[in-house]
């Protein structure tokens, strides 16, 4: 039983992270021969015959051309878990069954050589790697366009690791209507809307009226476009330093009452979600 890592083992964590992060975000062309050989190795272990290989430019093409829907294997994007198990085996000396150790090596080969792949009994649909991948602090992020883009134009717009709309990324902050904040149901996307537009601009554009203030907390009365004003709690998340606006019941008129309602307790939250 390992109770404490050695200095050398701790140093290896950084090395493995750097190596496998670069694999996970690689935009190098797929090594088709290497990928196919590794997948054939997995099929052999499972007792299947050598499959036919069907290559696609992106997951979108795989879905449109071959009706691939459920993704089980992400190729290079499986790097995170492959890295963990390789580190445990090769650095910490954890013993794996020979068969599963071989399977791990084959998954590592696949991660180094291709993108998403969809296995079937007699065929495997495999995707090329993206041609662009933009990161910030280890998260998918691009302020000016797609964070990840494939050769056929498929991809996604991401801010700080959160998938958002093209409009949010490519529009200027001053051109965005703050009311989109109240139409969005996803809390993480709302966070990025606030971060993009800016909390002060949102409050000003919506004509918010301050009802109460306590430190970084402020209770605002806001008209969201239906001629009725509602109270919203403006608060700062101390863990990631971003602002939030969260609706509270109409009866609430103080920051304390809003926090008590939100948390079900009189204690102030250390981390807001």
Q: Give the span between the Cα atoms of 53 and 63, in whole angstroms.
A: 15
Stronger pLDDT, 182 or 139, i.e. the higher one:
139
> Do residues 169 and 143 lie in contact, with contact meaning Cβ atoms separated by under 8 Å?
yes
**What is residue 236's DSSP assignment?**
E
Cα dihedral sign, 45-47-53-58: negative
User: What Cα–Cα distance (Å) separates residue 169 from each residue in 104, 128, 144, 162, 176?
Assistant: 38, 25, 6, 11, 10
Contact residues for 116 (Cβ-Cβ < 8 A; gap 6+): 59, 62, 71, 73, 74, 75, 77, 126, 127
Over the stretch 102-144, which tens digit does the pLDDT of each residue have? 999 999 999 999 999 999 999 999 999 999 999 999 899 999 9
Return mean pLDDT, the chain: 91
- Token readout for 101 is 């150790």
- Token readout for 38 is 């590794």
pLDDT-above-90 percentage for the chain: 68
Model confidence band, residue 267 (pLDDT cutoffs 50, 70, 90): very low
Q: Give the span between the Cα atoms of 196 and 239, in whole angstroms.
A: 18
> Do residues 82 and 105 lie in contact, with contact meaning Cβ atoms separated by under 8 Å?
no
E-assigned strand segments in 80-165: 117-119, 123-127, 132-133, 135-136, 139-140, 148-149, 155-159, 162-164
> Do residues 146 and 154 lie in contact, with contact meaning Cβ atoms separated by under 8 Å?
no
- Token readout for 10 is 């701790």
Q: What is the reported pLDDT for 265?
A: 53
Closest residue by Cα to residue 160 from 242, 59, 60, 273: 242
Query: Taking residues 233-261, what's their average pLDDT?
Result: 85
Over the stretch 194-236, which tens digit does the pLDDT of each residue have? 899 998 888 888 888 899 999 889 999 887 666 677 888 988 8
């Amino acid at each position: 039983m390992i109770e404490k890592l050695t200095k050398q083992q701790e140093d290896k964590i950084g090395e493995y992270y750097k190596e496998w992060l670069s694999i996970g975000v690689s935009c190098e062309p797929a090594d088709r021969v290497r990928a196919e050989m590794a997948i054939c190795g997995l099929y052999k272990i499972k007792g299947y015959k050598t499959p036919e290989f069907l290559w696609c430019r992106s997951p979108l093409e795989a879905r449109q051309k071959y009706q691939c829907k459920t993704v089980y294997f992400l190729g290079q994007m499986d790097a995170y878990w492959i890295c963990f198990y390789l580190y445990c085996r090769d650095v910490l000396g954890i013993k794996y069954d020979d068969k599963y150790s071989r399977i791990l090596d084959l998954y590592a080969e696949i991660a180094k050589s291709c993108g998403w792949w969809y296995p079937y009994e007699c065929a495997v649909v495999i995707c090329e790697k993206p041609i662009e991948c933009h990161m910030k602090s280890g998260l998918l992020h691009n302020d000016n366009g797609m964070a990840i883009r494939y050769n056929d134009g498929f991809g996604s717009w991401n801010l700080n690791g959160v998938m958002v709309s093209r409009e949010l990324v490519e529009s200027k902050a001053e051109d965005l209507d703050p009311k989109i904040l109240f139409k969005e149901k996803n809390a993480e996307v709302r966070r990025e809307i606030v971060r993009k537009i800016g909390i002060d601009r949102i409050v000003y554009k919506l004509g918010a009226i301050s009802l109460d203030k306590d430190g970084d907390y402020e209770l605002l009365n806001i008209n969201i476009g239906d001629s009725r004003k509602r109270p919203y709690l403006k608060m700062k998340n101390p863990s990631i330093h971003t602002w939030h606006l969260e609706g509270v019941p109409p009866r609430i008129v103080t920051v304390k009452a809003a926090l008590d309602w939100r948390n079900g307790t009189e204690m102030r939250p250390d981390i807001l979600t």
